[in-house]
Structure 1
Amino acid sequence: MNTPVPVPPPAPLPAPPPGGRRTPLVLRNGAFAAVWLGQVLTQAAVRMFQVGVAWWIVAHAVQGARGLASGLFMALCTLPAVVLAPVVAGTVATFAHRSVLRTAAGLAAATAGGLALWAQGGGPPLAGVYAAALALATCQAFFDPCLTTSVPQLVDDADIETATGFELSTQSLAGLGGALLGALTVDGAGVAGLAAGCAAAYGAAAVLVASARFRDPAPPGGGPAAPPARRPLRRILGELPYVRRILVCFTAANLFTAAVFVVIPLYTRSVLHGGGGTVGLLEASLGGGALVGAFTGTRVPGRPATVGAWCLTLMALALALPGLFAHRLVIACCLAVAGWCAGAVSVRFVSLFQRLVPTADKPGFFAVMQAVLGASLPVASLVFGAAGDRFSPQTLCLVQGVGLLPAACALALLGSRTAEPARPEAPQALGGAR
């Protein structure tokens, strides 16, 4: 196993302009701002679709086995990122990043638009909605790791952590905006209106990405940039044991955190006896907390593994409390805390991975990261969905909280026994126009 070679510390950052602070990244970097807004729109659309359809299944479309039907839907939404990881890695490493992002958003717009037209002529069958969900999730499986890989080509090295915070906040913004609109749109305009809104968001994202300019840095010494050597995905993780152990901990945690998206509509209908507005409130609380966590996570003191262990412990408590107190405001506050923990943990660890993983390995690594972390999501959706037809949502909340504790303990042990590795030597830049 190769040992990472430390490099000298980077050159001091340029002094800020006299008399004030630096301009926010999204205002001084138009290319990054356009791509970031594109990701906001795509993930807002996919979250809106997921929340809306999950509520449509529970409240309107299915009479029996609602838990299993919604669990199967959420499993289909998470399956492509796992199954297609090698294909995604190869595509991101081979083709221009802007082309991959633009194509993924464009195909998603066409899929959502087709579903809108189909639903306009009458209620679409459940199988048709499942197929559209699978297609949209496939497009997102290419979009997200490609954008993460592209961050160093859109911003300077000194801005990577800030850019990562903005990028991770996209999921939080999507959870906030999409959750507010998803269930309410279904109650007011049905699946046709939901799909039409998603199609418009995907189309706007494709236009934004097409307008952005991606950097094409030359390697040291000048001359054209050479394409990076492709390495097996197993070897990438094999040379990063610290990162690999962190991913295993969070994969185990996701078995229980991912279930929240199945539990919320079931809890709303059978415990709170609410409608789409209540679903929107709870989903928005989760997304709003994650948004704050994405921007404040870097300010939490401590090593990433230690911070992650404390955040998972707090999240376990927040997810378990709704199993004991069935009050809408209490549950909304608990979900906001759980969302903050998720956002803070994400920005700390993705920023760490951006600096530890060699540039040439990033396309493969981020596809692997998405697949490893997502491997538990289809299982969690199906298991908790089926369990929702047999047990009360309060019981599922308690199971979520208890299930997170072993992962928190494992992460705490990792932080106390393992030294954080030094940043590896900067490898050659990615080649080709991106």
Structure 2
Amino acid sequence: MTDVRTRPLLLRNADFAKVWTAQVAAQGAFRMLQVGLVWWIVSHVAAERRGLATGLLMVLGTLPAALLVPVVARVLARHASRDVLRRTTWVAACVAAALAAWAALGTVPLAAVYPVALALAVCQAFFDPCIPTSVTALVDAEDIENATAVTLATLSMAGLAGAFTAPLLVEHTGLAGLVLACAACYALSGTAAGLARFRPSEAPPTPASAPRQRRLRDILTGLPLLRSILLCLAAVNLFSTAVFVIFPLYTKSVLHADATTFALLEAGLGVGTLLGALSGKHLTGRATSVGAVCVTGFAVALALPGLVAHRPVVIGCLVVAGWCVGAVGVRFVALFQRAVPAADKPGFFAVMQAMIGATFPVASLVFGLLGDHLSPQTLCLIQAVGVLPAACALYALRGREHALTTAPPTRTALLEGKA
């Protein structure tokens, strides 16, 4: 048994490996589409007011995750994750294939890509919360933290692959090649998810035996510490996600560079996030303390590109910023996995996705509008200053986390978040 445990999780758990493949393909496709369309707008469509055009695209790409929280929570509670994963990815594949066919036959107007981005974001709003919710139905209890690190690293890896290839695809194959690649990835994801077998507990309960689902508000009210952490993470996300709007503009107007440079910047951020997700579980200390330090490091890494416009410096800063984000994600998601009661996990992770994701449309629109009036370097400095209050708030929560981790592992202690 010891020999089996020493093997990598993806090699000794075939069903988890299939869901991992589905995650890589779907999240990589979505990230590829986002980055590719942003670069297509910046380079080929909008000569003026690029900030607003890209910001609007990012708003539509992230709004469903915030607006559909109650619907997503109900769907995840009533339907098997395998079915949700499979169906959403096949719908996304069909939508992307339709746009690819249009682009191959003629010119696609800018207005046409917005509904496609919205439709794929709706599919992703159901897909993403399924991944953390499915972990306990795929792996043993002792593998939960390891599996959580793998899924978060996968998000980083998929984002890295998608972000790096997207600008190059747009540059060399046009919009048709970009969207066709996305459709193929979604099809692969749907196939892999359909082949995975979940444990019986993953199957939705029958109507006669189904327990009454708690309201989302009740879930958060019963978890005060985790609610506070989510608010801090949402505040960080409000400023951190603006990098996806700022750095295409930074590449064009500050570095005066092409798709290759933009791909390198995206790759730097992705590599850093991947390394952070892989190494975050090895960091010692309470999650809130580690989070405060990492968010502060993130602020410093974002401030430097606002002061020094040199490509190697900017790439290095994005690697550091990505590492901080990845490390924070692993520590807090692992804490949530252990502290949230099993019956509340579908609702909690849907709320988590929404609270963090809800800041993305706001950040995209606000920083997109600011990008038409302020320089990208100024926007980098605004980002850096903006995340510092959240770092202070996380540090202030360390005492409450200590009470949670030292309390007896009873449902009451976990729900109250205190001894």
TM-score range for the pair, normalised by the shorter chain length:
over 0.9
2:350 counterpart of 1:367: yes
1:334 counterpart = 2:317: yes
Spell out the pairing of 1:3-42 with structure 2 (5 A cutoff). 16-17=2-3, 22-42=6-26
Corresponding residue for residue 389 of structure 1: 372
Alignment of 1:17-166 (within 5 A): 17=3, 22-166=6-150
Q: 295, 307, 328: which one pairs with 1:345?
A: 328
Matched, 1:283 2:255: no
Aligned to 1:248: 231
Matches within 5 A, 1:287-302: 287-302=270-285
Partner amino acid, structure 1, of 2:222: E
d(CA) in 1 for partners of 2:208 and 2:301?
Answer: 49
Residue 290 of structure 2: aligned partner: 307
Alignment partner of 1:178 is 2:162:
yes
What TM-score, normalized to structure 2? 0.94
Instruction: Describe the superposition over 1:52-91 as per-residue Cα deviations: whole angstroms up to 9, x where unpaired.
Output: 1001111111111100100111111110000001000000
Deviations 1:224-245 (A, max 9, x none): 9943431100000000000000
Q: Give the superposition deviation at 1:426.
A: 7.1
Distance in 1 (alpha carbons) for counterparts of 2:99 and 2:211: 40
Structure 1 partner of 2:177: 193
**Quick one: distance in 2 between partners of 1:145 and 1:90?**
12
Question: Among residues 218, 221, 224, which one is paired with 1:238 in the alignment?
Answer: 221
Contact 1:316 1:402 in 2 (8 A): yes
Aligned partners of 2:286, 2:62: CA distance in 1, in Å? 30
Which residue does 2:241 correspond to in 1?
A: 258
Mapped partners of 2:166, 2:299: distance in 1 = 26
CA RMSD between the two structures: 1.9
Instruction: Say whether residues 1:320 and 2:303 are aligned partners.
Output: yes
Deviation digits for residues 169-195 of structure 1 (CA, Å, limit 9, x no counterpart): 122112210111101101111111100
Q: Normalized per residue, which structure has more helix?
A: 2
Q: Deviations over 1:396-428 (max 9, x none)?
A: 00111011111101111111455342475479x
Distance in structure 2 (CA, Å) of the matches to 1:94 and 1:248: 27
The C-alpha deviation readout for 1:98-141, integer Å capped at 9, x for no partner, is 11110011001001101100111122111210111111111011
For the Cα contact (< 8 Å) 2:288–2:401, is it kept in 1?
A: no
Measure the CA separation in 1 of the matches of 2:117 and 2:19. Answer: 23
**Is this contact kept in 1: 2:225–2:400, CA < 8 A?**
no
Q: Whole-Å Cα distance in 2 between the matches of residues 173 and 157 of structure 1?
A: 25
Percent identity, aligned pairs only?
57
**Structure 1, unpaired ranges of 5+:** 1-14, 428-434
Task: Give the Cα separation in 2 of the matches to 1:74 and 1:411.
Answer: 28
In structure 2, the gaps of 5 or more residues are 413-419
Secondary structure class of the residue paired with 1:273: coil
Number of corresponding residues: 408
